[in-house]
Amino acid sequence: MPRRASVFLVPTRHPGDAAAVAALIDAGVVRASDIVAILGKTEGNGCVNDFTRAYAVEALCHMLAPRLGLTAEAVAARIAMVMSGGTEGGLSPHLLVFAVEEAEAATPGGALALGTAFTADFVPEALGRMAQIHATAVAVRAAMAQAGIENAADVHYVQVKCPLLTSARIAAARARGATVATEDTYHSMALSRGASALGVALALGEVPEAALSDAVVGADWSLFSARASCSAGVELLRNEVVVMGQAPGWGGDLRIAHAVMPDAIALPAVQQALRGAGLDPGGGQLAETARLVAVLAKAEPSPTGLIRGRRHIMADDSDINATRHARALVGGVIAAAVGRTDLFVSGGAEHQGPEGGGPIAVIARG
């Protein structure tokens, strides 16, 4: 039976605001049982202690629980909840609701295809290492199978939510005689994102198994996925994977395309993704904003301290974290191109696109 994917973008007034999603369900626009994933941008700091992510997940689970006849815990186990903290600059807090339902017919040439999968909970010593890479690759392949995507070339974006290390988790590993990849909790976010991204790369055939080891995570930037977007948070212990592709057997008028930004100001890459999704960027700002459903991108401060040969100070600012600078910069570039600020721009692009750059995906109506 053909399936149809739907995507709804709704604003939020604060991290615990689930009212707009509830309104969609209560008005019959989407069935709660059809929701497979919810992605959100919250106005936290995006760092280890960004509890706006957990707050948003909790609010959504408690809102969905009575509508699904489940406990909040069962909702969290069923629906991929990917909250990305940080709406610096002009980025607007919002939620993206992904749903899948049966369709009467498939769209010729295919349409947006969605699949989700979850790893088991990780022990602290697995984060940032081959165990996380392998588990993520298995989950990506499972999500592809669920979506009916047989060819990795049909995958355009893989969104992963992954865990991080806290002082308590590090202490628990130490008590068992285990060592962790790092005892710097902030650095653990980068290693977890990086290992998850390399797991995506392995699953999609972008990086061979022989090139991977614990040592390359967060070190060998020549290894990356052009389609991975990974966000780390304190609110979970497993990886949650959402595969987005363009595949036959799916109906509806949504399509997805991706490109790779080689650096933070790569406007042509933004325009390439827009064109791939069937939109005309023209010579200036996008005019077809009504057809634009969502933009998802990664932001990364160049570790060389340079952008096209000119110095930046993102990594030298002791007051504002570098990933926060990067989100604001990349968000501004994309917003100028598309004429909107409700963009899912996530910071920390370790092994997600080339050094100092990152992937971008556009979902649009045909």
332 is in an annotated binding site: no
232 is in an annotated binding site: yes
310 is in an annotated binding site: no
177 is in an annotated binding site: no
193 is in an annotated binding site: yes
- How far, CA to CA in Å, does 314 sit from each of 212, 264, 324? 29, 12, 9
> Do residues 8 and 29 touch, judged by C-beta distance below 8 A?
yes
357 is in an annotated binding site: yes
84 is in an annotated binding site: yes
> Do residues 154 and 245 touch, judged by C-beta distance below 8 A?
yes
278 is in an annotated binding site: no
Burial grade of 200 (CB within 10 A; 0-12, 13-18, 19 or more): buried
251 is in an annotated binding site: no
What backbone torsions phi and psi does residue 40 show, to the nearest 5 degrees? Answer: -145, 145
Using only C-alpha atoms, the chain has a radius of gyration, in whole angstroms, of: 19
According to DSSP, the β-strands at 80-85 and 3-11 are unpaired
> Do residues 251 and 104 touch, judged by C-beta distance below 8 A?
yes
Catalytic (active-site) positions: 161, 231
324 is in an annotated binding site: no
3-state SS of 63-112? Answer: HHHHHHCCCHHHHHHHCEEEEEECCCCCCCCEEEEEEEEECCCCCCCCEE
128 is in an annotated binding site: no
Annotated binding site, which residues?
Answer: 53, 84-85, 193, 231-232, 300, 327, 346-347, 349, 352-354, 357
Annotated binding site for substrate, which residues?
Answer: 53, 84-85, 193, 231-232, 327, 346-347
Annotated binding site for Mg(2+), which residues?
Answer: 300, 349, 352-354, 357
